[in-house]
Amino acid sequence: MLETGAIWGLTGTTVTSFMFFWAMYKQYVPHHLRGYVEKYFYKMVGWISSYVHIKFTEYTEEGLKRSQAYDSIRNYLSSKSTARAKRLKANESKNSKSLVLSMDDHEEVEDKFEGVKVTWYSNVKVTQTQSNYGRSSSNERRYFTLTFHRQYRGMIIETYLDHVLREGKAIGLKNRERKLYTNNTSQEWYPWRAGKWSNVPFHHPATFETLAMDPVKKEGIKKDLIKFSKGEDYYRKVGKPWKRGYLLFGPPGTGKSTMISAIANFLDYDVYDLELTTVKDNSELKKLLLDTTSKSLIVIEDIDCSLDLTGQRKKKKEEDEEEDGEEKKEVEKNSKGDEKLSKVTLSGLLNSIDGLWSACSGEKIIVFTTNFVDKLDPALIRRGRMDNHIEMSYCKFEAFKVLAKNYLEIETHDLYGEIERKLEETDMSPADVAETLMPKSDEEDADICIKRLVKTLEEEKVKAKKLAEEEEKKKEEKDARKKKKAEEAEKKKTEEEDKKVKGTEENGNVSQENGIN
């Protein structure tokens, strides 16, 4: 079938003649000869027309893979055609969060770029295929044709197409349904199996508005993220890969995982949750990281637990705890357990991050979380790898106000003053505060929940005091044990020295006596 775009640019009189020939062509030229006729027709149009046509097919040359350029063009044209085209097509795409509107088949839409007019046509080619059982089936192949005057050839090919593909990709990213990826074990990597990552739609409701933390710190993080996401040109200018590392540390239940979801929602990113313990070795880790897409958060939670990344620090710790036989045994037991699961090493992880930083383009944020920041090797968290260190702390008054607003929809209460004082005296995680504030039945109102929090804070204070006393007692006992051990060692040393002195004296006396005799 002749494409509509091919005849664009012919004058009015030729169109009338063309209609006549077209009717004749359809009536008299047999199907099997049309291929030849069309071939020479296109050649002829090429000689007389001053227009250039470029074809973009839906599937790549190999025929199996969807063309990314086609999808980007479709996205780009959807933004133009919803306003201008008369016939649209609504597609429900697996990867898109809403309906995608695009130009219907055989529609055309005009676009203007730097004062130059171009026209896009959407075409479909139907081919009949005969199956082995004699049944015929039709196969539809879609493509876009871009038509423009040949005097703009250079500008269109060099600048306009780049603009269309970039814009279309950005629209696609904005409309896509975001995913939460988890890594598969290497046995599942083969093409006919699951691939390196499995995914589910990402719908976590956490946002920066619902995140309870110091508002000044929160604003700082938001500004940092905005600056990063808009910084493509800046990063290119300073010669740095467009990546950023975040280290989130703090006690359990202070909102580290919640913060990750809030960041992903804020920036509209996918999340790659990397479970290091299922990664067999360093090379597998590198492959996994390189197989992540742009606009994504790569998360390694509880990095201190995932691997034995403490390196030399462990040796030092062992020296310190030499007298604490039980603890040492425990450390050894844990590290042996990890070795069995994964052979990823600290240097392997560092190399993978640096490889990721340098090898692939596009904006990416890598996030580590840990409960014990001083357990981590400084090389892992140095600036340049982990650029932003964020401490998630116990719930203070400002954070409490956010939780009270979220959970109870109140902004003030008579007991706020008392709660502020108590939160300063007690370490309670936002997770615990949130759980205490949450109404447990329809009868429970804000007043009941706030009073429950005051009571819980009092109980926590008593508990913390008792715990501190016990710790103090344990420390005193440990110090006394250490002191006793040191005294015994000193005593033993003195005794040995005395013995030595005595021995030399006796030897001296004997030799003196021998000398006299």
Ligand X SMILES: Nc1ncnc2c1ncn2[C@@H]1O[C@H](COP(=O)(O)OP(=O)(O)OP(=O)(O)O)[C@@H](O)[C@H]1O
C-alpha distances out from residue 17 to 21, 25, 47, 106, Å? 6, 12, 18, 21
CB-based burial label for 159 (10 Å; 0-12, 13-18, 19+) = middle
- C-alpha dihedral sign at 221, 227, 229, 234: negative
**Contact 121/145 with Cβ under 8 angstroms?**
yes
Q: Are strands 270-273 and 243-249 parallel, antiparallel or unpaired?
A: unpaired
- Find the part of the chain contacting ligand X (CB under 6 A) among 155-163, 357-365, 427-435, 452-460: 427-435
3-class DSSP state of 126:
strand
Distance between alpha carbon 451 and the CA centroid of its chain, in Å?
Answer: 40
299 touches ligand X (CB under 6 A): no
102 touches Mg ion (CB under 5 A): no
- Please say which residue, 9 or 430, places its beta carbon nearer to ligand X: 430
3-class DSSP state of 287:
helix
Options 178, 196, 256, 295; binder of ligand X; rule CB under 6 A: 256
Q: Are strands 179-183 and 51-57 parallel, antiparallel or unpaired?
A: unpaired
- C-alpha dihedral sign at 228, 231, 236, 237: negative
Site for ligand X in 344-403 (CB under 6 A): 371, 392
436 touches ligand X (CB under 6 A): no
Structure tokens at 233: 């040109």
Using CB under 6 A as the criterion, what x/- string covers residues 214-243 for binding ligand X?
------------------------------
In whole angstroms, how close is the CB of 371 to ligand X at the nearest point? 5
212 binds, among ligand X, Mg ion, none (CB under 5 to 8 A by kind): ligand X
Options 72, 78, 147, 257; binder of Mg ion; rule CB under 5 A: 257
- Please say which residue, 408 or 434, places its beta carbon nearer to Mg ion: 434
254 touches ligand X (CB under 6 A): yes
Taking alpha carbons only, the member of 360, 361, 178 closest to residue 267 is 178
- The rounded distance, in Å, linking the Cα atoms of 191 and 75 is 28
- Please say which residue, 168 or 253, places its beta carbon nearer to ligand X: 253
Q: Which residue is listed with tokens 């790898």?
A: 385
3-class DSSP state of 121:
strand
In the complex, residue closest to ligand X by CB: 255
434 touches ligand X (CB under 6 A): yes
- Please say which residue, 144 or 269, places its beta carbon nearer to ligand X: 269
Options 258, 282, 306, 393; binder of ligand X; rule CB under 6 A: 258
172 touches ligand X (CB under 6 A): no
- Find the part of the chain contacting Mg ion (CB under 5 A) among 104-112, 167-175, 256-264, 320-328: 256-264
List interacting residues with ligand X (CB under 6 A).
Answer: 210-213, 252-258, 371, 392, 430-431, 434
List interacting residues with Mg ion (CB under 5 A).
Answer: 256-257
